[in-house]
Structure 1
């Protein structure tokens, strides 16, 4: 017995909807360019690096590449990768809030804090490739970053490739990237004479 046309239509619609739902979110390039423009103006006022900045778009799920090194001169993303956010009240290293992270500047919150940061000195990290960069929060939303020991580092639990619809394991608020991403960014940071801006936004 042949299936009725209405059944075939319903199956086709179901397949279409499933594909649409499963589509991987991506960086909004127009929005990123606008953020980069604002970051450049901020960097010029502060005397920071005007060639590169780091942008982290927390409006994207943690399983997609939302960490970007933006090349202001070329007007493009030079490097991108996955980046973790804070676990908040949930257990460490899970994927509890992969689509809906909570943000806080409070000490002990284990949340990521939104805002602009200055990427400061390089130091030893117990995580990843054993490299970290201290971060100074430049806004009221992230002013406790240094006191909270929020640093930029790598973490072996962060994948080199996108894992969406799964998420990236969550830490205690540090922006942690994969080991390979950190190697790339570390090599770039070591060459810069002026401090670089990191902007975490939602």
Structure 2
């Protein structure tokens, strides 16, 4: 087997420089997805038919089409339609955030509906309006129930962020590809990229587990 890591050792720091961009990209996308997903989840349980219809159609579109298609549409179609050269990072965040929002909305909706209906009935009996009831009573309880699913979505988002390499964003994956094209050795840099992703996901899993246990102790 023709494996020689010594030839790419000088390029390892270049690959590792992509960690910051990958993590920041996943974090910003997750925040956008969480905000959007919360709004869509509230729409889905709303008594307003138009809001429910909008949220369901949105979720159907973004869950029913490939993420890479959404990414290239945003990155390549925006300049064509609006004559505006969108930044690679912004295009990636928009694609991942909009896509993640569709999945998170279903997670949050299920979490909200899992909260005992007596909580909402008690709040209404006390004269608490809908918005503070959702923000202060229902959502905090729902978050505790859906935290593992949300953490899993963030981990998935971190791994899938490698797709942004297709539009040239210099994340971990793209840097590994650059090293491969420069050295004509692809196995070694891609293996290192895979190891870096695995370490990041392992750390996130550990931190998520600690956060989940802490929330359980606070109940």
Q: Into which bin does the TM-score normalised by the smaller protein fall?
A: under 0.3
TM-score after normalising by structure 2:
0.22
- For the pair shown, the structure with the greater C-alpha radius of gyration is 2
Name which structure has the greater RCO, CA cutoff 8 Å, separation 6+.
Answer: 2
TM-score after normalising by structure 1:
0.24
| Higher share in helix | 2
| Higher share in strand | 1
